[in-house]
Amino acid sequence: MNIDVSKLVRKNVLALSPYTSARGEFTGNAKILLDANENAFGSPLAENYHRYPDPMQTGLKEKLADLSGLTATQICIGNGSDELIDLLIRIFCVPAQDEIIVCPPTFRMYDVAAGLNDVAVKRILLTEDFQPNANVILQETTSGTKILFLCSPNNPTGNDLDYDTMQELLSSFPGIIVIDEAYISYSNQPSFLPLVSEHNNLVVLQTLSKAWGLAALRVGIAYANEEIIGLMNRIRMPYNVNGVSQSLASLALNNRSATAAWIAEIKSERARVQEKLPLFSFVIRVYPSAANFLLVKVTDAKALYQHLVSCGIIVRNQSTQPMLANCLRMTIGTPDENNTLLQALNRFES
Ligand SMILES: *Cc1c(COP(=O)(O)O)cnc(C)c1O
């Protein structure tokens, strides 16, 4: 769908003239930088970090453009996707007036970011097979419903959201649709990235925290049309992605083969663990997964969680999420780690 995005934007955001940083104003070649009050001597470290980083993250965006098939102007990089979720809510949702729609059980950050901004959250549960209920979503949408958050593959259920249902929503939801693809590398379903150029209300979120193995660097990516990216650039902090993260992430993106090999290995380990888990008597159900984790329904999640802690293994108890009573989320680790998990489960059985 193509909508009038500017009509959805908060008035104060449209009126804002962004802070321009010293290093952001200047382009070209300079020998002497006396514009940003840095320490010109250097840093008390083996390497120098005394210059502010590129506020437009040009080098990293070029790598991501190449990887995604989109252009640098369709990319906004955040200090993790968490920052991008917050930015999107702040661009479109007037506090104490507008709302977002989320589809639990899902990633909790959408809820948290909305709450922080005093934005109401309409929760429309996934269906029993963990799919978005498109009819109810559209029925419940009002003029104050600014953003619909979908997560595919969904955390913590692990499944892909149905591609056709998401397409249906894309052609009928009158607000911004955010599709969070943090786990897309582990899925066999295609990404929505190619649709960013067709739908001006679509934002696809990806991250370097999972498959790329760079969680410590905090690099999240929003792909959207130029208008939304322009708004995100307008309100984000000028140096939101630090220089170390920019340069290390750029280097890492050159090494695609290591990441591809890990993805393949995690998928095969996922299949192996998925096959073993139902053999335990306390496992009620192992849900199908298109991500790097398994959601497992057990007889007593709390007891099993405590047992695993006592074995030095931490999983995530998801029991407080709707529809997920007695469910644990287990990340797929290395083969050794997965074996240790299976042994610990064996001990719980006996
Ligand atoms: C882990 C995860 C992210 C990544 O967040 P970062 O802030 O980029 O580390 C985003 N969305 C979902 C659903 C996740 O599970």
Taking residues 196-225, report their average pLDDT: 98
Cα 201 to Cα 174, 224, 277, distances in angstroms:
8, 8, 41
Mean pLDDT of 185-193: 98
Which of 12-21, 171-180, 181-190, 207-216 shows the lowest per-residue confidence on average (mean pLDDT)?
12-21
Q: Cα(68)–Cα(222) distance, rounded to whole angstroms?
A: 11
pLDDT tens by residue, 296-325: 999 999 999 999 999 999 999 999 999 999
- Say yes or no to pLDDT of 254 above 90: yes
Q: Whose CA is nearest to atom 14 of ligand 1?
A: 182
Mutation to probe ligand 1, out of 64, 77, 81, 102 (largest number of atoms < 8 A from CB):
81
Residue 44 has pLDDT above 80, yes or no: yes
Cα-to-centroid distance, 165 and ligand 1 (Å): 22
Give pLDDT tens digits for 3-25: 999 999 999 999 998 777 777 77
Q: Is the pLDDT of residue 141 over 80?
A: yes
CB 170, CB 198: distance < 8 Å: no
Q: What would the mean pLDDT of 16-42 be, rounded to a whole number?
A: 85
The arithmetic mean of pLDDT across residues 331-349, rounded, is 98
* Residue 348, pLDDT score: 97
Q: Is 145 in the pocket of ligand 1 (CB under 6 A)?
A: no
pTM recorded for the entire structure? 0.97
**Residue 284 CA, distance from chain mean position:** 29
- Is the pLDDT assigned to residue 144 strictly greater than 90? yes
pLDDT of residue 299: 98
Average pLDDT rounded to a whole number, residues 102-112? 98
**Residue 121 above 90 pLDDT?**
yes
Atom of ligand 1 nearest to the CA of 220: 8
Query: In the chain, what percentage of residues exceed pLDDT 90?
Result: 95
Burial class of residue 232, CB neighbours in 10 A (0-12, 13-18, 19+): buried
Residue 350: per-residue pLDDT = 86
| Nearby residues of 66 by Cβ (< 8 Å), 6 or more positions away | none
- Alpha helix stretches (DSSP H) within 117-255: 134-140, 163-172, 226-235, 243-253
Mean pLDDT of the chain: 96
Task: Categorize the per-residue pLDDT at 170 as very low, low, confident or very high, splitting at 50, 70 and 90.
Answer: very high
DSSP assignment string, 248-306: HHHHHHT-HHHHHHHHHHHHHHHHHHHHHGGGSTTEEEE---SSSEEEEEES-HHHHHH
% residues pLDDT > 70 (the chain): 100
Residue 208 Cα, ligand 1 centroid: separation in angstroms? 9
Does residue 207 have a pLDDT over 80? yes
Residue 53 pLDDT greater than 80, yes or no = yes
Give the pLDDT band of residue 2 (cuts 50, 70, 90). Answer: confident
Q: Count how many residues are written for the chain.
A: 350
For position 132, what pLDDT does the model report?
Answer: 98
Q: Is the pLDDT of residue 28 over 80?
A: no
- For residue 22, the model assigns a pLDDT of 74
Which of 9-18, 42-51, 165-174, 225-234 comes out lowest in average pLDDT?
9-18
pLDDT at 161: 98
The pLDDT of residue 233 is 95
User: Of the given ranges (31-35, 84-88, 206-210), which has the lowest mean pLDDT?
Assistant: 31-35
Structure confidence at residue 117 (pLDDT)? 98
Question: What is the C-alpha separation between 163 and 152, in angstroms, rounded?
Answer: 9
Query: How far apart (Å, rounded) are the C-alpha atoms in residues 333 and 285?
Result: 20
> Is there an atom of ligand 1 within 6 Å of 181 CB?
no
State the burial class of residue 41 (Cβ atoms within 10 Å of its Cβ: 0-12, 13-18, 19+).
exposed
Query: How wide is the angle at C-alpha 225 spanned by C-alphas 224 and 229, nearest 5°?
Result: 70
| Amino acid (one-letter) located at 5 | V
Pairing of strands 120-123, 145-151: unpaired
Q: What is the pLDDT of residue 187?
A: 98
pLDDT at position 174: 97
Distance in Å, CA 42 to ligand 1 centroid: 34
